[in-house]
Every structure is written in C-alpha cells, then in structure tokens.
Amino acid sequence: MFEKKTEAEITMLTIKEAAALVDGLTEYRVREMCRSGELPCIKAGKKYLINKDILIRFLGGEPE
C-alpha cells in the first residue's frame, strides 16, 4: 500500500511551495485546507508542512 521511504526521500513543502506546484492553487487556499484538516499536514511552530507525495495523491494527479 505505502512505499517505505527513507528520511532523505521524503519531501516536505511549505504553503508557498505547495501553491507554486499547482496552477490555480493559491497560498490562501492551501493554508485554509491545512487549518480545516482537509489537507493532511504537520504544523511546525507557526508553519504548516505538507508532504509532497500526499499532496499529489490528495489532488488526484501526478506531477509533470
């Protein structure tokens, strides 16, 4: 089901990076999805960190 990855292979994105990865997705919308729990993420201090693989699966597509 889930592939086992080492720490070096896991990519975490900030809200800004996640929004830049997807056309039409704003930083505001990513932040709201994190706050509401709609998008799985980790809160590190004041920042939200989003696993890139989970974001891609959540959006239902693959990166170009």
Predicted confidence at residue 3, as pLDDT, reads 67
Per-position pLDDT tens, the chain of length 64: 566 666 568 899 999 999 999 889 999 999 999 999 999 999 999 999 999 999 999 888 655 5
Predicted confidence at residue 44, as pLDDT, reads 93
Domain borders along the chain are: 12-59
Q: Give the Cα separation of 33 and 36 in Å (integer).
A: 5
Instruction: Write down the residue that tokens 């994105």 correspond to.
Output: 13
Which two structure tokens, joined as six digits, stand for 25?
Answer: 């997705």
Which two structure tokens, joined as six digits, stand for 13?
Answer: 């994105």
